[in-house]
Amino acid sequence: MEVIIQPNKETAAHLVARIVAHDLRASPHLVLGLATGKTMECVYRHLVCMRADKGLDFSLCETFNLDEYVGLFPNDPNSYRHYMNHHLFRHVNIDMRNTHLPNGMAADLDAECRAYEALIKRCGGIDLQLLGIGKAGHIGFNEPGSALQSRTRVKALTPTTLKQNAPMFGGEEHMPRRAVTMGVGTIIEARRCILLATGRSKAEVLAQAVEGPITSMVTASALQLHPRCTVVVDEEAATMLKEKEYYRWIFENEPEWEFYR
């Protein structure tokens, strides 16, 4: 795991967007794993600007989102399909047929989960997976206790997650109770993972994920097993990390990061 500490959430999101842009230019057929949530909005804003200002080309890439709520139609303003269309897809030259999210309205959700896994495989697997971290320590909706080898399936949302996302729904009582999510095992099969965490509210859980034990109680900690995982944080989210100076030294001295310093 590499940790990159940036001064603020804007610079952190910009760095993540630059990594995506770099990989997309190097491999136009990139299979990109996407996340939703507040943290990612900044990243998508930067990518939309890169499309407008620098002609960043999305026409050949394929995308797979981590998750979708059960029981929401794609055009529901709170669905993750709607989020993706609104924040990214509608503003770039992506072929909508190449954008995939689990269908939370499928009559047979287990079959939907199997089909999603099969589709990822058919596309050759995910090259670059973007991730946020929830206050419950989750990646995707892999809530505490999720098996570290889990695959795409339906998960019940924990009280912490319900509380985190309730404001978007105007209260917990209006929120779906379950979601379809890629499993931890599905996520860590991606060739590269980038986790972005910003803000003081993520500091404690981020430190557990990065410097604590690998445990299903903080599913983001499974990323410690990944051979190529980069964690990008702002100063606020880095507050509780014990090895900050070491991470800064690596970022300053590692030739791979020269382009991004």
Q: For ligand F6R, which is the closer residue by CB, 135 or 244?
A: 135
Using alpha carbons, list the distances in angstroms from residue 99 to 32, 147, 157: 9, 27, 25
Is residue 116 within 8 A of residue 109, CB to CB? The reply is no
- Over its C-alpha atoms, the chain yields an Rg (Å, rounded) of 17
Shortest approach of ligand F6R to residue 199 CB, angstroms? 8
| Cβ-closest position to ligand F6R | 132
CB atoms within 10 A of CB 90: 11
Q: How many Å apart are CA 50 and CA 21, to the nearest integer?
A: 8
Shortest approach of ligand F6R to residue 226 CB, angstroms? 16
Q: For ligand F6R, which is the closer residue by CB, 50 or 140?
A: 140
Among 5, 9, 32, 39, binds ligand F6R (CB under 6 A): 39
- Sheet with 67-69, strands from edge to edge, namely 67-69, 178-181, 153-156
- Phi/psi at 79 (nearest 5 deg)? -75, 155
Shortest approach of ligand F6R to residue 213 CB, angstroms? 20
Q: Which of 89, 92, 67 is nearest to 78 (CA)?
A: 67
Shortest approach of ligand F6R to residue 46 CB, angstroms? 15
Shortest approach of ligand F6R to residue 182 CB, angstroms? 8
- Considering only 96-104, 132-140, 206-214, 230-238, which stretch makes contact with ligand F6R by CB under 6 A? 132-140
- Considering only 18-26, 88-96, 127-135, 253-261, which stretch makes contact with ligand F6R by CB under 6 A? 127-135
* Per CB under 6 A, 104 contacts ligand F6R: no
Q: For ligand F6R, which is the closer residue by CB, 94 or 179?
A: 179
Kindly provide the b/e burial profile for residues 80-89, where b requires at least 16 CB atoms within 10 angstroms of the residue's own CB: bbbbbbebbb
Q: Which of 259, 195, 197 is nearest to 228 (CA)?
A: 195
* Per CB under 6 A, 138 contacts ligand F6R: yes
Q: Which of 234, 243, 241 is nearest to 4 (CA)?
A: 234
Among 102, 137, 140, 183, binds ligand F6R (CB under 6 A): 140
User: According to CB under 6 A, which residues from 52 to 91 bind ligand F6R?
Assistant: 66-67
* Per CB under 6 A, 132 contacts ligand F6R: yes
Q: Which residues bind ligand F6R (CB under 6 A)?
A: 35-39, 66-67, 132-134, 138-141
